Amino acid sequence: MKNKKVLDGMTPYKPGKQIEEVKEEYGLSRIVKLASNENPFGHSEQVNTTISHMLEHHIYPDGYATELRRTAAANLNVKEEQLIFGSGTDEIIQIIGRAFLYPGVNTVMAAPTFPQYKHSARIEGAEVKEVPTVNGCLDLSGILSAIDDRTNVVWLCSPNNPTGCMIPKDDFYAFMDKCPEDVLVVLDEAYYEYVSAEWNLRVLDHLEQYENLMVLRTFSKAYGLAGLRVGYGIASETLIRKLDVVRGPFNVSTIAQKAALKAMEDDAFLEQAITRIHAIKQSFEHFLDSIGWDYFESHTNFLLISTPISGERVFQYLLENGFIVKAGEGLGAPNTIRVTIGTETDMQQLQEVLYQLHLKLDKEQSM
């Protein structure tokens, strides 16, 4: 079959090990998954109440996501026509790639950053230009220098995944003022809800000023709806209209739309979950300080931690002791692990396991 040649040299996304798989492989009765940046406290109870009564699965979903669109637009103070919804932001990234990337053009991004930017661009045949991060932070001057007359899309992830670092507000707007107006800038704010007020870019207040700017957000992280897949993009009406041509007509399920709507309405759950996660993260940082392990400053619900041995070895040790994390080698950040912040109990048990590893490594070095 005559597929795109680029596919022959690419590999599909490989999900992390699943809980039951790890239990069986290592003979464990309990596994804690801290690999996918999910909310350890789940989601609003209102979501369960809403979707438990939904039985009409034979009817296509609302292709315009009318009710969710109306509520989201009001909450964000944007027009309904400025929104596009997708099966997670992953799908919106694919839509952007399909609309704006093709052979002969290029796209610019940081390295490391969220891998789906590069993956989608390569499938569309565009050249990928990567600019290394500096101490985990995006090098905006380097990204700006990499833009040329063939650049169609720039990807900025803030907070960045996997490092957790934020783009400072002044730096972001200085970048936007210098970036060519015919280059689409995609600002991925998947972890927006975890960002404190002083770091908030307040980018939606400036969409009219920058018509080449698009913002991505999701219900998968802080809202706890990762399994239902709902993401959204915010941009000018003109840009959204073009992307809607590419979007599939029924791309967000009815259950996902209703769940996102209810999740968005429950401010109390969101605030409580975020407050707890920040407190647990701070406690975990103190522990890492005590054993001398460095980590990147994170404005998210995860930490990228520098490891004294390879990230793969630490990943394997934790796996054998009942914890699933992400090895940095697969994220473009060797000798690190990325750890999602879990519940108080989970993180206390993780600290005990890591402390034993710390002692083991100290003993090996002294021999």
Q: Which two tokens stand for residue 183?
A: 């280059």
* Confidence at residue 58, expressed as pLDDT on a 0 to 100 scale: 83
Residues 195, 91, single domain; the answer is: yes
* Confidence at residue 9, expressed as pLDDT on a 0 to 100 scale: 81
Residues 164, 114, single domain; the answer is: yes
Residues 22, 104, single domain; the answer is: no
Residues 163, 215, single domain; the answer is: yes
Rounded Cα distance, 237 and 234, in Å: 9
Q: What CATH number did the domain enclosing 60 receive?
A: 3.40.640.10
Q: Look at residues 110, 159, 161 and name the one whose alpha carbon lies nearest to residue 338.
A: 161
Residues 101, 247, single domain; the answer is: yes
Residues 110, 13, single domain; the answer is: no
Rounded Cα distance, 222 and 192, in Å: 9
pLDDT surpasses 80 at 239 = yes
- The pTM of this model reads 0.94
* Confidence at residue 194, expressed as pLDDT on a 0 to 100 scale: 98
Residues 110, 244, single domain; the answer is: yes
Rounded Cα distance, 110 and 136, in Å: 10
The DSSP annotation for 280-346 comes to HHHHHHHHHHHHT--B---SSSEEEEE-SS-HHHHHHHHHHTTEE-EEGGGGT-SSEEEEE---HHH
pLDDT in tens, 295-327: 999 999 999 999 999 999 999 999 999 999 999
Domain of residue 351, residue span: 5-42+268-366
* Confidence at residue 53, expressed as pLDDT on a 0 to 100 scale: 73
Which residues partner with 186 through β-bridges? 155, 214
pLDDT surpasses 70 at 178 = yes
- Domains contained in the chain, number: 2
8 Å CB contact between 318 and 325: yes
Q: What CATH number did the domain enclosing 32 receive?
A: 3.90.1150.10
Give every strand in the sheet of 336-340, ordered side by side: 302-306, 336-340, 326-327
pLDDT surpasses 90 at 49 = no
pLDDT surpasses 80 at 2 = no
pLDDT surpasses 80 at 80 = yes
* Confidence at residue 25, expressed as pLDDT on a 0 to 100 scale: 81
Domain boundary among 250, 266, 282: 266
Give every strand in the sheet of 184-188, ordered side by side: 83-86, 231-234, 213-218, 184-188, 151-157, 106-111, 127-132
Domain boundary among 221, 245, 266: 266
8 Å CB contact between 51 and 255: yes
Rounded Cα distance, 200 and 66, in Å: 28
* Confidence at residue 95, expressed as pLDDT on a 0 to 100 scale: 98
Rounded Cα distance, 49 and 54, in Å: 10
pLDDT in tens, 206-215: 999 999 999 9
Is cis: bond before 334, omega within 30 of 0? no
* Confidence at residue 12, expressed as pLDDT on a 0 to 100 scale: 81
